[in-house]
Chain A
């Protein structure tokens, strides 16, 4: 090959690089064989506590659910795994039809008219929902419920920092201080603490000011609880991870994003549309691309081009496999087991459940001592405890939106010694009983 190019060595092909910068020393390890690499990675993996190695009660945005074997078996097929974004529709009908299925199932799950092909993750999906609400309403004030995940709150702030958008906190259940400048009200459902918000009332309050309501909804709760679309939500986003995607220390996941038909031209990310080919056969294409960065450049609805298609596929396979009955069964198992755990913990001396209301699979417990110290002891017994809320909220400013005083001046998440526990279908009664037994040591 070199001879056809008239050069003596590969190095000669790089002469456009200024000589003083060419071929710098590269201080990287020596190459390894596959056997050595596998051992190296096995070694690193063995120094992490895997969720499956013992009882785990940590949620807070990433959930330990059962994944049927077919999800991995199908999604790792090379035809799906090693394809690119489906720009060449004729050569990408598999991926495009999967995305169309995904859009259908996510819109059904949330009770919404349309869903897109996916976003990076639940947090960025919500942040893009906020930006979209500002475009739709041409307003720039954003009211964020103080029951939203502190991690999501931080991502919204990062996404909005250069957009001239003002963000303030409000407390659901109290006067919301929305006004004619409010672009949207941002609510999580179930909220960060696991509780069901009054979406009907919150939607009405937002709409009364001409604002949109942007919801981040847990997809697993949709197997049991009313979908946000039923209440008139305008944009519903979510984290797709619970739908057949392993926790993987935080990613990759897929962000869910759905809205009303009237707003489709303001949506971010890809959309797959059904059409026909020149012979009248049904086929699928990427559509409404004039919203996107490769066409509209700096005037695009977003800079996003990755829709996490592989994990949209995983979620689609998962929802197909579980189906109507299965998703309901998983949701009910989570609910039943979480309520069993909560009821037992509430009976322990020194423990209380500070929040009144309906919760799904997560709940807050006030502990007799700091949750972090409890978690250390639990880990010694190979139990992964819940989230220490004081750590989770260490970067979030206190709520300032409430006008009724009272608890609105209380920093969000400030339940003394508050621990956020999560129970799923993965936790057996035996595991829950072991947790209760371990917790009881601290209440004496």
Chain B
């Protein structure tokens, strides 16, 4: 419950504004007054709020309390890997020698930063089994774009100009087809079989001389390890295509298998998922790309290099020979890369293996405990997440949407809803490794209680949530009559 007065969040910044108030005082000029430019160039009005420092602190603190977060709530949002974000990672990223360095300062004055990046490239290469690593891509989808542009560059460099087709399973994240389209490809959907694997028969029929490659998420968004993955890779390679791996679900595979060994040619990692960097309410992330030898010349610029002269190694930045170019302003989301590097140092190889083990154990524990209560469309060993369907509850009058809204009343963030698209009324639950047995049991109990409520008190479920700062919001009007910013009354 937030407070009244300035701590009441109903007033926006512009509505709190009182002429003359300032939240930060700047020093007086210490240089002689300089001539001003032509007045026509100068701004006469600047409509920013005028509020004091305490007001800013009170308002934003009150706003923060209207969020669920990992630190305050279990957040089993499937495919998002909402694990604990260690505080040491944030702390070191704010060190003046890391947060306070300029991306264009001379390389000799940033050797510590470059060494960190170089070592991180090596760590990610070892984890994926893919020797080339580019760190400059700023998010998962940004890594996908880089990967697909590399796929395009690879075919074009071989004079193979007709390979315009990219196959994407029907279970894929929406970013996959969107990224393939931005890289100029035509997207063709390949169906999944009744085990949730890529349908090999369908795949064989679709591959041909126009095939550029496939985009595969492993484990799939159904939370399942595709047992035909080796054949998928072989089939695509035999047709002259490349295999793109969406690494969104790497939390299941750390130390268990190397994607490069399975036949993947290019993989992006989501450091804000698998490697624990905080999501920040929607970013920043980082989406490094890891590639096989054949794609190293096409990596996005820059990559970090090491040269060993006579003395200590010297680190630099370089553009690969046939790079797809520069996809971000500088060298990547360094502050995020620092956090991921710190995480890997803390855990080491054995720690990373323990993470995938515990993540998969927790998901399977939830699956076993809940599969009698919620319909489980793919009844087999899951990996780091489990996908249920709310079909049984829907038949009794409460949809998946209403069930997850009711979960908010129990103090749990909702699972991912209605995704993947191939599962009706999908509820995708990813507990991660960092929750205790007690929390998992409380969550299981909540989902069982809600199931009982669907029968005994369906209106309670259908009207949920009841305890959040706002109840169900009118999304239709928001889209029909978009109100995207504050405007002065009248």
- Shortest C-beta distance, A28 to chain B (Å), equals 4
- Encode contact with A along B116-141: 1 for CB under 8 Å, 0 otherwise: 10000001001101000000001111
Q: Please determine whether B102 and A64 come into contact, CB atoms closer than 8 angstroms.
A: yes
Q: Please determine whether A45 and B43 come into contact, CB atoms closer than 8 angstroms.
A: no
CB-defined contacts of B108 to chain A, threshold 8 Å: 379
CB-defined contacts of B179 to chain A, threshold 8 Å: 303
Given contacts A90-B469, A275-B483, contact A17 B138 (CB under 8 A): no
Q: Please determine whether A91 and B342 come into contact, CB atoms closer than 8 angstroms.
A: no
Q: Please determine whether B478 and A287 come into contact, CB atoms closer than 8 angstroms.
A: yes
Q: Would you list which residues of chain B between 251 and 285 have a CB under 8 Å from chain A?
A: 255-258, 261-262, 278-285
CB-defined contacts of A151 to chain B, threshold 8 Å: 326, 329-330
Q: Please determine whether B483 and A273 come into contact, CB atoms closer than 8 angstroms.
A: yes
Q: Is B61 an interface residue (CB 8 A)?
A: yes
The segment out of B237-245, B358-366, B450-458 that lies at the interface is B358-366
How far does the alpha carbon of A22 sit from the alpha carbon of B92 in the complex, in Å? Answer: 34
- Shortest C-beta distance, B163 to chain A (Å), equals 12
Q: Please determine whether A24 and B99 come into contact, CB atoms closer than 8 angstroms.
A: no
Q: Would you list which residues of chain A between 270 and 289 have a CB under 8 Å from chain B?
A: 270-279, 281-285, 287-289
Q: Please determine whether A250 and B334 come into contact, CB atoms closer than 8 angstroms.
A: yes
CB-defined contacts of B478 to chain A, threshold 8 Å: 273-275, 285, 287
Q: Please determine whether A81 and B329 come into contact, CB atoms closer than 8 angstroms.
A: no
Contact of A92 among B17, B35, B65, B67 (CB under 8 A): B67
Q: Would you list which residues of chain A between 1 and 22 have a CB under 8 Å from chain B?
A: 1-2, 4-5, 10-11, 13-18, 21-22
Q: Please determine whether B13 and A120 come into contact, CB atoms closer than 8 angstroms.
A: no
Q: Is B110 an interface residue (CB 8 A)?
A: yes
CB-defined contacts of A395 to chain B, threshold 8 Å: 319
Q: Please determine whether B278 and A82 come into contact, CB atoms closer than 8 angstroms.
A: yes
Q: Is B184 an interface residue (CB 8 A)?
A: yes
- Shortest C-beta distance, A6 to chain B (Å), equals 9
CB-defined contacts of B485 to chain A, threshold 8 Å: 100, 103-104, 107, 114-115
Residue of B nearest to A9 (CB): B357
Residue of A nearest to B278 (CB): A81
CB-defined contacts of B101 to chain A, threshold 8 Å: 48-51, 247-249
Q: Is B235 an interface residue (CB 8 A)?
A: no
How far does the alpha carbon of A47 sit from the alpha carbon of B351 in the complex, in Å? Answer: 28
Q: Please determine whether B23 and A326 come into contact, CB atoms closer than 8 angstroms.
A: yes
CB-defined contacts of B111 to chain A, threshold 8 Å: 47-48
Q: Please determine whether B29 and A88 come into contact, CB atoms closer than 8 angstroms.
A: no
CB-defined contacts of B225 to chain A, threshold 8 Å: 14, 16-17
CB-defined contacts of B262 to chain A, threshold 8 Å: 21
- Shortest C-beta distance, B83 to chain A (Å), equals 10
Residue of A nearest to B357 (CB): A10
The segment out of B70-78, B200-208, B388-396 that lies at the interface is B70-78
Residue of B nearest to A196 (CB): B41
Residue of A nearest to B81 (CB): A84
- Encode contact with B along A343-374: 1 for CB under 8 Å, 0 otherwise: 10000000000000010000000000000000
- Shortest C-beta distance, B487 to chain A (Å), equals 9
- Shortest C-beta distance, A258 to chain B (Å), equals 10
The segment out of A133-141, A158-166, A169-177, A401-409 that lies at the interface is A158-166
Q: Is B50 an interface residue (CB 8 A)?
A: yes
How far does the alpha carbon of A250 sit from the alpha carbon of B486 in the complex, in Å? Answer: 32
How far does the alpha carbon of A293 sit from the alpha carbon of B182 in the complex, in Å? Answer: 11
Residue of A nearest to B98 (CB): A45
Q: Is A320 an interface residue (CB 8 A)?
A: yes
Q: Is A213 an interface residue (CB 8 A)?
A: no
Q: Please determine whether B344 and A28 come into contact, CB atoms closer than 8 angstroms.
A: yes
Q: Please determine whether B67 and A321 come into contact, CB atoms closer than 8 angstroms.
A: no
Residue of A nearest to B43 (CB): A226
Q: Is A206 an interface residue (CB 8 A)?
A: no
Q: Is B422 an interface residue (CB 8 A)?
A: no
Q: Is A179 an interface residue (CB 8 A)?
A: no
CB-defined contacts of B175 to chain A, threshold 8 Å: 293-294, 303, 305
Q: Please determine whether B324 and A161 come into contact, CB atoms closer than 8 angstroms.
A: yes
- Encode contact with B along A20-32: 1 for CB under 8 Å, 0 otherwise: 0111101111111
Q: Please determine whether B43 and A97 come into contact, CB atoms closer than 8 angstroms.
A: no
Given contacts A48-B101, A90-B472, A275-B477, contact A154 B325 (CB under 8 A): yes
Given contacts A41-B98, A275-B477, A298-B178, contact A61 B69 (CB under 8 A): no
Interface bin, chain A: 35 or more
- Shortest C-beta distance, B272 to chain A (Å), equals 8
- Encode contact with B along A189-207: 1 for CB under 8 Å, 0 otherwise: 0000000100000000000
Contact of B479 among A32, A287, A325 (CB under 8 A): A287
Q: Please determine whether A376 and B106 come into contact, CB atoms closer than 8 angstroms.
A: yes
How far does the alpha carbon of A169 sit from the alpha carbon of B106 in the complex, in Å? Answer: 29
Contact of A1 among B24, B71, B110, B437 (CB under 8 A): B437
- Shortest C-beta distance, B55 to chain A (Å), equals 9
Q: Is B3 an interface residue (CB 8 A)?
A: no
CB-defined contacts of A299 to chain B, threshold 8 Å: 181
Residue of A nearest to B14 (CB): A104
Given contacts A28-B126, A276-B473, contact A60 B283 (CB under 8 A): no
Q: Would you list which residues of chain A between 221 and 276 have a CB under 8 Å from chain B?
A: 222-227, 239, 246-253, 264, 270-276
Residue of B nearest to A332 (CB): B29
Q: Please determine whether B361 and A85 come into contact, CB atoms closer than 8 angstroms.
A: no
Residue of A nearest to B259 (CB): A21
Contact of B139 among A304, A375, A379 (CB under 8 A): A304
Residue of B nearest to A200 (CB): B40
CB-defined contacts of A239 to chain B, threshold 8 Å: 329
CB-defined contacts of B22 to chain A, threshold 8 Å: 322-323, 325-326
Q: Please determine whether B187 and A298 come into contact, CB atoms closer than 8 angstroms.
A: yes
CB-defined contacts of A77 to chain B, threshold 8 Å: 61, 64
- Shortest C-beta distance, B195 to chain A (Å), equals 10
Most central of B109, B173, B365 by chain A CB within 10 Å: B109
Given contacts A115-B485, A293-B174, A320-B49, contact A303 B182 (CB under 8 A): yes
Contact of B12 among A89, A104, A375 (CB under 8 A): A104
Q: Would you list which residues of chain B between 74 and 121 have a CB under 8 Å from chain A?
A: 75, 77, 80, 82, 85, 88, 90-106, 108-113, 115-116
- Shortest C-beta distance, B319 to chain A (Å), equals 8
Q: Is B332 an interface residue (CB 8 A)?
A: yes
Q: Please determine whether A324 and B50 come into contact, CB atoms closer than 8 angstroms.
A: yes
Q: Please determine whether A84 and B82 come into contact, CB atoms closer than 8 angstroms.
A: yes
Q: Please determine whether B13 and A104 come into contact, CB atoms closer than 8 angstroms.
A: yes
- Encode contact with A along B271-302: 1 for CB under 8 Å, 0 otherwise: 00000001111111110000000000000100
Q: Please determine whether A309 and B468 come into contact, CB atoms closer than 8 angstroms.
A: no
How far does the alpha carbon of A275 sit from the alpha carbon of B469 in the complex, in Å? Answer: 14
How far does the alpha carbon of A157 sit from the alpha carbon of B173 in the complex, in Å? Answer: 26
CB-defined contacts of A322 to chain B, threshold 8 Å: 22-24, 48
How far does the alpha carbon of A103 sit from the alpha carbon of B50 in the complex, in Å? Answer: 17
CB-defined contacts of A168 to chain B, threshold 8 Å: none
Residue of A nearest to B54 (CB): A70
Residue of B nearest to A271 (CB): B484
A-B pairs with beta carbons under 8 Å apart, 6 shown: A23-B256, A86-B281, A104-B485, A250-B329, A275-B474, A425-B26
- List 13 other contacts, CB 8 Å, given A83-B69, A97-B9: A1-B365, A24-B129, A80-B64, A120-B328, A224-B42, A225-B41, A276-B477, A304-B141, A319-B49, A320-B49, A324-B48, A326-B25, A336-B29
Closest 10 CB pairs of A and B: A250-B330, A310-B280, A45-B97, A162-B184, A78-B71, A47-B112, A158-B325, A252-B284, A250-B103, A309-B282
